[in-house]
Structure 1
């Protein structure tokens, strides 16, 4: 696969650290309903090894796949999103330097899941998810925005997470339109 731009291990560590932080915050949502399933936690640990200086390896890849399999068996949408965020954190070590909008999901899906989980746990109030995107923006380091800016912007999407992710992307890049969810 030919690279469209440079993406260093330091860049990847910025993305993995960012995704891991959001995934860690929602991991308890999964563990409350599946305390015996360690796959999402193992994915976060694999991501942490990479951010701690280890080379990326099959560990991140296999842990990401395992966490995504755990997401498929989650008994609720919030638990599914939490396990998925953990898988995304480990998988971010393999973000590709190709100018494809779908790569943005590897950068922003974990915080979008975090925002949507907050919305779900509030009883499904879209205003909560929209407000959480502002919190995400305030907690996003400039180094992450610099990496994000190398990729084309994704379009909205049909799912609530896709809408939140597109809103995050627009806010972080300082572009419009701002997406709102009219459920």
Structure 2
């Protein structure tokens, strides 16, 4: 387990921050279909993702991103209150994508939520949409692992491990966190031991 002094700062440049935001968008965007199926006229989560993608593509980090993040948060609350749990987590994934632009260079476990929160909420949205099928969520976490390039992994490993708590979303986030921190050789060995995984020649 990585130990870190929470008063320390993390080395983080703007190019890396844009990579993190782009990763968060890639994880969150597929879940938008769940939200938009329930609320086709509500553009708030999509606007949050669009703002995050613009930042990832080189736009300045402005108040527009933060405003869209808050709007997605309200959409998540409204769908939750309406009993649309999967749509709520899809909106939270969009919120997570916009929030990724505000990853702080502080050695705190809570900052990992800015990196992996969108993936965890998207995974939860998909498993809820499938009748709370946890295999669906686990499969999406595996997909999110595959989307993470070297820069995302490099930034993630500068921070402490993902925080405890946060229910099922927290479980999914910690699963992704542990997988991304695992050396590539260890991941390959784990995949070879998994039923249906590749076997050495």
> Normalising by the residue count of structure 2, what TM-score does the alignment of the two structures yield?
0.81
Q: For the Cα contact (< 8 Å) 2:32–2:90, is it kept in 1?
A: yes
Q: Which has the larger radius of gyration?
A: 2
Number of positions where the alignment pairs a residue of Structure 1 with one of Structure 2 = 175
Counterpart in 2 of 1:24?
29
Alpha-carbon distance in structure 2 between the residues aligned to 1:99 and 1:18: 20
> Normalising by the residue count of structure 1, what TM-score does the alignment of the two structures yield?
0.89
Alpha-carbon distance in structure 1 between the residues aligned to 2:166 and 2:94: 22
Counterpart in 2 of 1:181?
none
Deviations 1:146-173 (A, max 9, x none): 1111110024425100000011100110
Counterpart in 1 of 2:180?
172
Counterpart in 1 of 2:97?
89
Counterpart in 1 of 2:77?
72
Alpha-carbon distance in structure 2 between the residues aligned to 1:153 and 1:82: 24
Counterpart in 2 of 1:8?
13
Deviations 1:94-129 (A, max 9, x none): 110000001101110111122222221222122222
Structure 1 unpaired stretches of 5+: 177-183
Counterpart in 1 of 2:62?
57
User: Structure 1: which 4+ aligned runs deviate by more than 3 Å?
Assistant: none
Alpha-carbon distance in structure 1 between the residues aligned to 2:8 and 2:98: 21
Equivalences for 1:79-158 in 2 at 5 Å? 79-158=87-166
Aligned residue for 1:153, secondary structure, equals coil
